[in-house]
Amino acid sequence: MHTIRTRLRRGALTALAAACALLTAGCSKASETTRTGGCRADGTWSARQKAAWLRGAVSFRTAEDAAASDARMSVVVGAPRSADARRLCRPLDVQVEFWTLTTTTTTTTATRTDSSSVGRRHLIADGGTTRTVGFPGDLPAGREGVCVGVLAAVYAGGPLTGRELPRVTPGPSADVDASVRFVTDRVGTYRLFPPPDPARCAPGRTAVSPSSTGEPGWDPFHP
């Protein structure tokens, strides 16, 4: 009889301990939800995690996507396209930066692409508000800019340092075959827009240095 009572007592204690553990876990989860106010906790995110969030929150709008009254190309930062679309508890510092990519022919078979930053916009993003950044209005265009493409990138944190700047390897005619590499985990996404007429950038043609037009330079129907 004594053995049976001991077993019953131990079983009751085990059940009580399990119930307390479940209660503690539930309270902890509730406490976390209350503390974050239902938002997505990102205070300890690494650069790679921030970049991954941006990758799902950024889209590039071309003229074909825009309304007839707004043919400007733009970069849109909004709600993330993910299973967890809650706004972030701690908004991210985000940079939207644009570079011109000027391709010149060094020999009859070799080309070189130089990048130059032409605009950078700082904004705050948490997924709860949509922010739209238009392409700079002074991008080179027309016959003077036929060999000039544009690179747009979105990344978290402050401006890129010298060692983090994009490395561009030109394609055969400065088109979409060009490869871009950033030496950093901060870049969420980027998009390369080739020259309006890449065929005119082929080896053997004279490259002309780009100049600002003072007006929105890119053809609104350029991809």
Give the closest residue to 191 by CA, choosing from 92, 97, 63: 97
pTM to 2 decimals?
0.70
pLDDT, tens digit, 9 for 90 and up, residues 12-55: 555 555 555 545 555 444 444 444 568 999 999 999 999 999 99
Which of the pair, 198 or 88, is modelled with greater confidence?
88
pLDDT, tens digit, 9 for 90 and up, residues 134-182: 988 777 654 455 678 889 999 999 999 999 999 887 654 445 456 788 9
- CA distances (Å), origin 107, targets 9, 16, 104, 168, 207: 90, 82, 9, 18, 12
Which tokens in the block code for residue 70? 């707004």
Q: Give residue 209's identity as a one-letter amino acid code.
A: S
Separation of alpha carbons 208 and 8, rounded Å: 91
Please report the DSSP string for 170-191 in residue order.
--TTSSTT-EEE-SSS-EEEEE
List the chain domain ranges. 1-38, 47-201
Give the closest residue to 105 by CA, choosing from 204, 211, 32: 204
Q: Residue 179's beta-bridge partner residues?
A: 169
Separation of alpha carbons 118 and 210, rounded Å: 12
* 8 A C-beta contact, residue 155 and residue 96: no
